[in-house]
Amino acid sequence: MKIGILGAGHIGKALARLLAEAGHEVGISNSRGPDSVVEGTQTLRDLAHEIGRGVKAFSNEDAARFGELVIETIPFGKYMDMPAVQMEGKIVIDTANYYPERDGQIDLGGLSESAFIARHLPKARVVKAFNTISAAHLETLGDVGKPVGERRAIFIAGDDAEAKAVVTRLIEEIGFAAVDTGSLEDSRVQQPGTPIYGPDLTATQARAALQK
């Protein structure tokens, strides 16, 4: 499928490579646009070329327009920069974690982090995923050769069952196992500081951990 990725940092790059290797068409954006260079950094176009497999360098708007599914993996505090109009009707994977010391003080209005993001994307079908795994482990721990129950768990949450099924399939295609924590509001259980945030659990261990 066509996948647009907003953010070309640790997680954006890892997902672009994994999903392109799995046969998807990927377009990626950053804060600067395809050709802009900030001292000492490569352009996004060079980065896309380095990832290979036809990955395209886009603006945020073009990446969102391109994707049948859009992954938002920019710093939480930049949520206002997501092109909400171009994301309407799309399945959106939200990888973001809110760290006030990095992102500044943001009033979430009592919402979970992903429900807050979803409020900014009113017509998108938001699924939280990939927020509990480090980029290094995302790069290395996927194994399509393992039975799903023995794979490293990727926790997911969302209010749209069909969207969660699509995201589950993508997660399995890149060698992980999706473990559902419930609705976007329930996704609090997979936010920073919770027992399941960080440890490398298999899907079987992850389901047991959620029972506790």
Ligand X SMILES: NC(=O)c1ccc[n+]([C@@H]2O[C@H](COP(=O)([O-])OP(=O)(O)OC[C@H]3O[C@@H](n4cnc5c(N)ncnc54)[C@H](OP(=O)(O)O)[C@@H]3O)[C@@H](O)[C@H]2O)c1
Torsion region of 33: left, alpha or beta (phi above 0 gives left; psi -120 to 50 gives alpha): left
Closest to ligand X by CB, 104 vs 147, is 104
Q: State which of residues 55, 57, 97, 168 lies at the interface with ligand X (CB under 6 A).
A: 97
Q: Of 3, 4, 5, 12, which one interacts with ligand X (CB under 6 A)?
A: 12
Q: Which of residues 13-32 bind ligand X (CB under 6 A)?
A: 29-32
Number of helices followed by number of strands (H, E) in the chain: 8, 8
Evaluate whether 187 touches 115 at the Cβ level (below 8 Å). yes
Question: Which span sits near ligand X by CB under 6 A: 94-102, 140-148, 163-171, 200-208?
Answer: 94-102
Two tokens, residue 155: 């926790």
Query: Please, which residue, 12 or 67, has the CB nearer to ligand X?
Result: 12
Helix (H, G, I), strand (E, B) or coil at 58: coil
Binding of residue 8 to ligand X (CB under 6 A): yes
Go through 180-207 and write b for each residue having 16 or more CB atoms within 10 A of its CB, e for each that does not: bbbbbebbbbbbeeeebeeeebbbbbbe
Quick one: 81 or 162, whose CB is closer to ligand X?
81
Residue 131 is a binding residue for ligand X (CB under 6 A) = yes
What angle (nearest 5°) sits at the alpha carbon of residue 59, between those of residues 169 and 171?
10
Task: Decide: is 199 part of the binding site for ligand X (CB under 6 A).
Answer: no
How many chain residues bind ligand X (CB under 6 A)? 25
Q: By CB neighbour count within 10 A (0-12 exposed, 13-18 middle, 19+ buried), where does 135 fall?
A: middle
Q: What gap in Å lies between CA 90 and CA 121, rounded to an integer?
A: 10
Comparing CB distances to ligand X, the nearer of 94 and 159 is 94
Site for ligand X in 63-92 (CB under 6 A): 73-76, 78, 81
Instruction: Choose, by CB under 6 A, the member of 16, 24, 27, 60 that binds ligand X.
Output: 60
Rounded Cα distance, 164 and 3, in Å: 15
Q: Which stretch binds ligand X (CB under 6 A): 9-17, 119-127, 143-151, 176-184?
A: 9-17
Which residues of this protein are in contact with ligand X, per CB under 6 A? 6-12, 29-32, 60, 73-76, 78, 81, 95-97, 130-131, 134-135
